[in-house]
A and B are shown apart, each in its own frame.
Chain A
Amino acid sequence: SQELEQSPQSLIVQEGKNLTINCTSSKTLYGLYWYKQKYGEGLIFLMMLQKGGEEKSHEKITAKLDEKKQQSSLHITASQPSHAGIYLCGADIWASQGNLIFGKGTKLSVKP
């Protein structure tokens, strides 16, 4: 089974709508990273969360970490076509060895 599960696998939303992507780990989280990827390109770093209950925001994107549930959520408010892409969560489950595992990604499409 997958150590890092993302849901949903894909999402189609109307422009202006809010959405949430979840990332759940089967192991203890020492750090959680959110990235965005355009198809076939490199990953763009969005946010890093390290402490339980931590919440970070950048423009219209907010990420939270629930350490007890070993889960993180990424919330986009008032989605725009520029938000479309593949969102990946990465996790440090070996306590700072640089060895991250990644989820399979959530493909987001935003309809104008």
Chain B
Amino acid sequence: ETGVTQTPRHLVMGMTNKKSLKCEQHLGHNAMYWYKQSAKKPLELMFVYNFKEQTENNSVPSRFSPECPNSSHLFLHLHTLQPEDSALYLCASSQRLTYEQYFGPGTRLTVT
């Protein structure tokens, strides 16, 4: 247990569906992150939030929409995804941007 939880752990969705991934951290951290991990590719940073403000959007397509209502919760809203979006989506948090990041267990997403 790293203090970062993610739900659901597995998700199968069609290309026309809308779904959301949820991340919660119990560490009192101020920064939260979304990453995408695809087979045979390095872990890719998608979004960074610092004190609830988005500070980084790594050229992510608009079909991925993040939301950070407070420093403990982070959502990733998904709509009209493509099969190539199938991947493991990981959430992480850190005390500050310069500190080590702690990761959740991930959500395995399959787009059919």
Contact = CB atoms under 8 A, between A and B. Distances in A.
Interface residues of A, number: 25
Interface residues of B, number: 30
Contact of B2 (A40, A44, A92, A103): A44
Contacts of A11: none
Nearest to A46: B100
Given A43-B90, A96-B98, A101 B106 contact: no
B97 interface: yes
Contacts of B6: 42
Contacts of B41: 104
Chain A contact residues, majority secondary structure: strand
Contacts, number: 67
A3 to B, nearest CB: 9
A48 interface: yes
Interface in A22-53: 31, 33, 35, 40-45, 48
Interface of B: 2, 4, 6, 31, 33, 40-43, 45, 48, 50, 55-56, 58, 88, 90, 92, 94, 97-106, 108
5 contacts: A35-B103, A42-B90, A42-B103, A98-B56, A99-B48
